[in-house]
Amino acid sequence: MDAFRALVVDDEAVFLETLVKRLHKRNIDTTGVPSGEEALEIMKKKLFDVVILDVKMPGGMDGIETLREIKKTQPLAEVLLLTGHASVETSIEGMKLGAFDYLLKPIKLEELLTKLAQAFEKKDTHDQKIRSARIKELIRFPGRVLEQVKEEES
């Protein structure tokens, strides 16, 4: 598995801190933020492969709202939802909105790692498909590269 970048969004500070440390130790480039707003902020600057998002965050943006925004900012990032029992329905709604999967709290790290790997694999496959599609396109219409460069500059 390639090294990948993960973002953890959870309002429980100790949980967040510990999880980030544990993922780091497993060679996952992990960033932790305590709220939906900050997650969106950092996602404007940095690309992530997988976002681990707590569905229930009192105060500020809730998980579903954050999910919608994430899908607008980085549509290719896979989102793993962390949920309590009461919010299983919310998570199902989240999956309809494009979340990869959900995990019931309290989570076991092994479980999380498995799901992360699956999510990353999906993202990776997806990315590769996009890349190969682009390459095919480039080969067929080389002129498009210039247009794309212009687009990105503007």
Q: Which chain residues interact with other proteins by CB under 8 A?
A: 12, 14-15, 18-19, 21-22, 25, 84-86, 88-89, 105-109
Nearer to other proteins, 12 or 38 (CB): 12
The 10 Å CB-count burial string (b at 16+, else e) for 114-140 is: ebbeebbeebeeeeeeeeeeeeeeeee
Nearer to other proteins, 84 or 98 (CB): 84
Q: What is d(CA 122, CA 88) in angstroms, rounded to the nearest whole number?
A: 23
Please report how close the Cβ of residue 15 comes to other proteins at its closest, in angstroms.
5
Q: What is d(CA 110, CA 107) in angstroms, rounded to the nearest whole number?
A: 9
Helix (H, G, I), strand (E, B) or coil at 56: coil
Please report how close the Cβ of residue 144 comes to other proteins at its closest, in angstroms.
47
Please report how close the Cβ of residue 13 comes to other proteins at its closest, in angstroms.
9
Nearer to other proteins, 18 or 132 (CB): 18
